[in-house]
A = this chain, B = another copy of it.
C-alpha cells in the first residue's frame, strides 16, 4: 500500500538513460537563475525598515536611501567578481569547489556547510515570504500561514522527488511578469507622487520615536538588507547548463540579473520611503506600496500573485541545488553515501527529504515569520561569498599569470566587502539568530570531518589486495554445528529446525532455549517429548533473566566441542508481519539477541522467516 501511494505521489521509476539536461539561452536562462536573486527584493526592503523604523521612526525613510545605495554598490562588486569565476570555472564554480580547490579542505567544508544552511534558509525564507504576499492580499488566511507554508514546501518536495525538469518555460512566465509589473509599479508610483501630488495614506502608522542615528544602527539595517543579494551566485554554479558559448551567455545573464536587482531593489526602496510603508506581520511592505499605487484592483493582485510565485520558485531552486551539493560531498566521502544515490525518479531523494524536513522545522519554530529567519539566512550566504572570493584571490596570487594583478584586485575588493558583510551580520544579528547559523555550520563541518574519517578508516580495514585473498580465505574455520534458538515449539520454530536439519545434512544440530521461568521451560520439555523431536534440546536456566548472556556463555562453551576462533552458526526463526507497527508484538528479543551476537565476529546468524498471514480475511472466520 505504501508502495502504491509512493507511485501515485512520486511516479514510476525512470530509466538511467533518462538523465539529461536541457541547455538554456539567455532569454530562458535568466528566469531560472534570477528567481532567487530578484525575489529576495520582496523581503530585503522590508528588513531594512524593520531595523530603522523601531528606532528612528519617520526619519528612516531618509536613511534608507543610504543603506540601499551601499547594498547596490556591493552588488556591483559581486558582479565583477563572479564574472571572473565564470571565466575560470567553465564547469561551474560553486563556492564549495572554489574554496576546496584553492584554500584547502577546511575552507571547502566551511563553504559547504554555509551553502547547506543557505539552501535550507532559502526554502524557509522564500516560502514564508511568498505566503506573506498571499496573506497580505487575503488577510483571512493570515491565521493559517504556517500551515499554508508547510503545504507548499510539501508540494515542492513531492514535485522534486518526482524529478521536476527545470523546465525553463515554467520559470520564465511568472518571472517576467514579476519583473515587468514591478517596473510598472515603480514608474507609476513615482509619477503619482511626484507629478500627480498624491499624499501617501499608509496602512499602518509610523511609530513616534526619535532615537539616535548611530553607525551601528545603519550597519544593522545594512545587514538586514543584504538578504536582497542572496542568489546572485547562482549563475556561476550553473555554467554547463547554458547553450554555447556557455560562459558568454552566463555572463550576459549575470549582467541582466544585476540590472534587474538594481532597478527593482532600488526602486522598491524608494517607493517604500515615499509611500511610508511600515513593516508588519499582517501585510508585506510591497503589498502596502502597491495597494496605495493601484488600489486593490487587478494590478494589485497580479503583483501579489507573481511575487508569491517567484518566491516559491526561488525556494524551489534549493531543491535542485542542495541535493546536488550533498551528493558531491558524499562522493568526496564527507556525507553518508545515501546522499549520492539517485531515487526511483533519478532525483537525489535523501537530500530532498532532509532539506524539506529542515525547512519545515524552521518555519514552525519561527512561526512562519520571514523577519525572524533573516538573521540566520544572510550569515551563510555571505560566508560562502567570502570563501569564494578568497579562493579566487588566492588563485590569482598563486598563479601570477598575465593580468593576475588586475583580477586579484577585483576579487580582493570582493573579499574585503563580503567579509566585512559577514562580520557585520554576525555581530549585529548574533543574538537574533546568526548564532544558530554559525553553530549549524560548525556542526556540519564536524559532521563532515567525522564522516570522512570514518569512511577512510573503514576503507583501510576492508581493502583487499589480490595477493592476500588466499591468506584471508584460510583465516576462518566454520564449525558445522548449528544451534537453533527456540522459545516454544510451534510451527515457526519447527520450520527453523527443519531448515537447519536439511542444511546441515541432519547432523550436528541442537535446539537451545534460555529459561527464565521453570514452569515455561517444563512445558517446552514436555511438548518436545510429545512431538517426538529427534533434535536434542538444551535448556539453561537464568535466574537473572539474562537471555543474551546465558546464550553467549553456552555458545562459547566447550559443551559442543567449540574451539576458540571457529565460526559458529545460530539459527533463529523470525516472524514476518505484514504491517510494520505489528513488529511491536514480535521479534523484539530476537532483534536484540542478533545485535549482540553479531558483535562477536565468530557467530553468523541465519534468519528463517515465518510469514504470518494477513489476519482473519485470509485465515478463517
* Residue A8 interfacial (CB < 8 Å): no
B473 near A489 with CB under 8 A, answer no
- Kindly state whether residue A4 has any CB partner on chain B within 8 Å: no
| Contact A611/B606 with A338-B588, A569-B503 known, Cβ cut-off 8 Å | no
> How many Å lie between the Cα of A341 and that of B337 in the bound state?
39
The proximity string for A residues 446-477 relative to B, scoring 1 for CB distances below 8 Å and 0 otherwise, is 00000101110110111110100100110111
Complex CA–CA separation, A381 to B530 (angstroms):
48
Distance from A57 Cβ to chain B, minimum over Cβ atoms (Å): 35
Task: Check B607 against A594 for contact (C-beta < 8 Å).
Answer: yes
Chain B proximity of A478: nearest CB distance (Å): 4
Chain A interface SS verdict (over half): mixed
Q: How far is the CB of A536 from chain B (nearest CB, A)?
A: 16
Interface residues of A, CB < 8 Å — how many? Answer: 83
Tell whether A492 pairs with B462 under 8 Å between CB atoms, given A451-B585, A599-B576: yes
Stretch at the interface among A33-41, A173-181, A292-300, A540-548: A540-548
The distance from the CB of A256 to the nearest CB of chain B, in whole angstroms, is 38
Contact A612 B458 (CB under 8 A): yes
When chains A and B are docked, how far (Å) is the Cα of A604 from the Cα of B498? 12
Q: Which of B489, B584, B608 sits near A464, CB closer than 8 Å?
A: B489
Nearest Cβ distance between residue A598 and chain B, in whole angstroms?
4
Select one of B455, B491, B517, B588 contacting A472, CB under 8 A.
B491
The answer to whether A20 has its CB under 8 Å from any CB of chain B is no
Q: Which of B336, B344, B476, B532 contacts A495 (CB 8 A)?
A: B476
In the complex, which residues of chain B have a beta carbon less than 8 angstroms from the beta carbon of A50?
A: none
Q: Given the known A-B contacts A464-B491, A491-B472, are A16 and B545 also in contact in the complex, defined by CB atoms under 8 Å?
A: yes
Say if the beta carbon of A516 comes within 8 Å of chain B. yes
CA distance in complex: A531, B467 (Å): 7
Pick the residue among B461, B516, B605 that contacts A606 (CB under 8 A): B605
Point out the residues of chain B lying under 8 angstroms from A599, CB to CB: 576, 609, 611
Say how far A437's CB is from chain B's closest CB, in angstroms: 24
Considering the complex, which residues of chain A in the window 567-605 have a beta carbon less than 8 Å from any beta carbon of chain B? 567, 569, 574-576, 582, 584-586, 588, 594, 598-601, 603-605
Fill in one digit per residue for A341-355: 1 if any B CB lies within 8 Å of its CB, else 0: 111100000000000
Q: In the complex, which residues of chain B have a beta carbon less than 8 angstroms from the beta carbon of A598?
A: 574, 576, 607, 609
Q: Is there contact, CB below 8 Å, between A473 and B494?
A: yes
A400 CB-CB contact with B under 8 Å:
no
A-to-B contact residues, CB < 8 Å: 13-17, 336-338, 341-344, 451, 453-455, 457-458, 460-464, 466, 469, 472-473, 475-478, 480, 489-492, 494-495, 498-499, 502-503, 516-517, 527, 530-533, 543-546, 567, 569, 574-576, 582, 584-586, 588, 594, 598-601, 603-613, 615-616, 619-620
